[in-house]
Structure 1
């Protein structure tokens, strides 16, 4: 099961959202703190200004009435609030800031809660208490216009960042897909060189590597095909001359050797063939049944071949590819395995499987890694006349070219099994390519 967090885009998106959320939260907390401090400073300035204005009013125009909510109270009046013993921390800081702005010895008191907040101020030179209103000191509301703007800015920032992350991971995704195709042996078109400088350099290096590997592979295939093709004519003449020998024993030996050499040459040609299979797509179950039936009839001394075909009619592969896979695996099982040989197909949750297994001794664990390498024969058990060491290499190349994966190993201690898996998504491409060819 794929997890979004495993992808580059998922991790970039998570990182971007986390960083933006942290920065916006810190910004919002800073704004709230600054807003509280600003509100306190404004309240102090306003209260100090009112007290100074009242003093100037009393000194210059004592007969004029005071503004509403501003009054002078006699110190002996019973309504004077007592000395504040304990106050909330913001209110205590407010009183201290006001006292610092007043002359030395000024008394500053706050009216008890329950009514409009007022401040009582009396300097040593004042005859009465000066009572002025103060701005209520309260924390900003948790949900206000700041939060709305914060959400809008955060949303646009996340969308822009996700788009940037998507644009950054697209070249990497194209490169990863190209690497996957290259690993399966499929043709790899040049990957567009885009993105940051390091990514462009990586893509350029990959394109150069693919071109060099393709050029080397093509040169080897051309050389191998040329040598194999040139050998076919002398082998045909050699067989013709062997048929004309009088000594039957010598003739049969020479003919067997010529047939072995001809088989090796044909394997060379198949291995060197590197173009896409344009043959018609056929049902794998039906084709396996036909190939096994023909193999039983043609192969002399062939061991018992059993079939377990459960994939269904939706499992399609090119006919030529399937025939070459089955013929190479059946020949390999016939030459080195033991009966019974089982050809099986199945449908799984990931795709279709095709397997060929025998009941021989299998291959030693340390030799499995070399079993599918070209021109490698595992001596002494897997040598023999007429074999070039290309059978399993041809099967691996054909399976990967068809979009599948293969696995070779000893099956449950009963012999060698080659298991080929073809995902569902490769089958429509196989069928479409076949229909286009026709």
Structure 2
């Protein structure tokens, strides 16, 4: 099961959202703290300004009435609030700040709770308590607009960051897809060199590597095709001359050797062929049944070949590719395995499987890695005349070009089994009759 967090885009998105969320939360907390401090400083400045204004008013215009909510109270009046020792820390800091702005020895108190907030100030030179209104230090504030704008800014920041992460991972995704195609042996077009400098350098190196490998493969294919093609004419003449020999025993031996050499040449040509299969897709189950039936009729001394076909009509592959895969695997099982040979198909949750197994001695565990390498023959355990060591290499190349994966190994302690898996994306879609009519 694919997990989004495993992708580069998923991890970048998670990192970006986490960083933006943390930064916005820190910014919001700092803004709230700074606003509280600014409110306290403003309240202190306002209170000291009002107290100084009242003192000047009393000195210059003692007969004029004071502004509303500002009054002078006699020290002996019972209205004077007592000095409170236990106050909330914000209120205590506020009183200390006001006291620092006043002359030395000034008494500062706050009004009784439950009434409009007031500040009571009396310096040593004041005859009465000066009572002025103050702003509440913690005015109840709703988070309406602040939170709304914070959410809007956060949403736009996340969308911009996700777009940047998507643009950053696109070149890597293209490169990863190209690497996957290259690993399956499929043709790989040049990958556009875009993104950061390091990524452009990586893409440029990959394109150069693909070109060098393609050039090497092309040179090898041309060489093999040329050699194989040049050998076909001498082999045909040699077979014709062998047919004209009078001694039957010698003639049969020479014909068998010529047939073996012809088979090797044909394997060379198939292995050197690097073009895409443009043949029509066929149902794998039906084609397997036809190939097995033909194999029983044509190959002399062929062991029993059984079928277990359960994939259904949705499993389709190009006809030429499927014929080459089956013929090579059946020849391999006939030459090295033991009956019965089983050709099986099945449908899985991920796609389809095709397997060919025999009941021979199998391949030693240390030789399984080299079994599909070109021109490698595991003699004497799996040697024989007329074989070039290309059969399994051809099968692996054909399976990968068809978009599948393969696994070779010994099954249940018995013979060799080649298991090929084809995902649903690699299998052509089945067209209905109504669709094909259009």
Whether 2:53 is the aligned partner of 1:53: answer yes
Q: CA deviation at 1:430?
A: 10
TM-score, with structure 2 as normaliser: 0.97
The answer to whether the 8 Å contact 2:317/2:428 transfers is no
2:203 aligned partner? 203
Whether 2:222 is the aligned partner of 1:222: answer yes
2:407 aligned partner? 407
Partner SS for 1:239 = helix
Partner SS for 1:356 = strand
Mapping for residues 1-400 of structure 1, pairs under 5 Å:
1-138=1-138, 141=141, 143-400=143-400
Q: CA deviation at 1:148?
A: 1.7
Aligned mates of 1:430, 1:270 — CA distance in 2 = 28
Q: CA deviation at 1:245?
A: 1.2
Q: CA deviation at 1:196?
A: 0.7
Aligned mates of 2:145, 2:53 — CA distance in 1 = 35
What runs of 5+ residues in structure 2 fail to find an aligned partner? none
Aligned mates of 2:83, 2:274 — CA distance in 1 = 99
Q: CA deviation at 1:141?
A: 3.4
Aligned mates of 2:66, 2:74 — CA distance in 1 = 15
The answer to whether the 8 Å contact 1:336/1:360 transfers is yes
Deviates more, 1:242-251 or 1:267-276: 242-251
Q: CA deviation at 1:36?
A: 0.5
Closer/same/farther in 2, CA of residues 97 and 18 from structure 1, 3 Å limit: same
Q: CA deviation at 1:416?
A: 0.6
Deviations 1:353-397 (A, max 9, x none): 100000111111111010000000012111110000000000001
Deviates more, 1:196-205 or 1:132-141: 132-141
The answer to whether the 8 Å contact 2:81/2:110 transfers is yes
Aligned mates of 2:300, 2:100 — CA distance in 1 = 114
The answer to whether the 8 Å contact 2:354/2:419 transfers is yes
Aligned mates of 1:121, 1:151 — CA distance in 2 = 44
The answer to whether the 8 Å contact 1:281/1:430 transfers is no
Partner SS for 1:238 = helix
Aligned mates of 1:423, 1:175 — CA distance in 2 = 21
Deviations 1:197-242 (A, max 9, x none): 1111111111111111001000000000000000000000011111
Q: CA deviation at 1:140?
A: 6.1
Deviates more, 1:255-264 or 1:141-150: 141-150
Point out 4+ residue stretches in structure 1 off by more than 4 angstroms: none
CA RMSD of aligned residues (A): 1.4
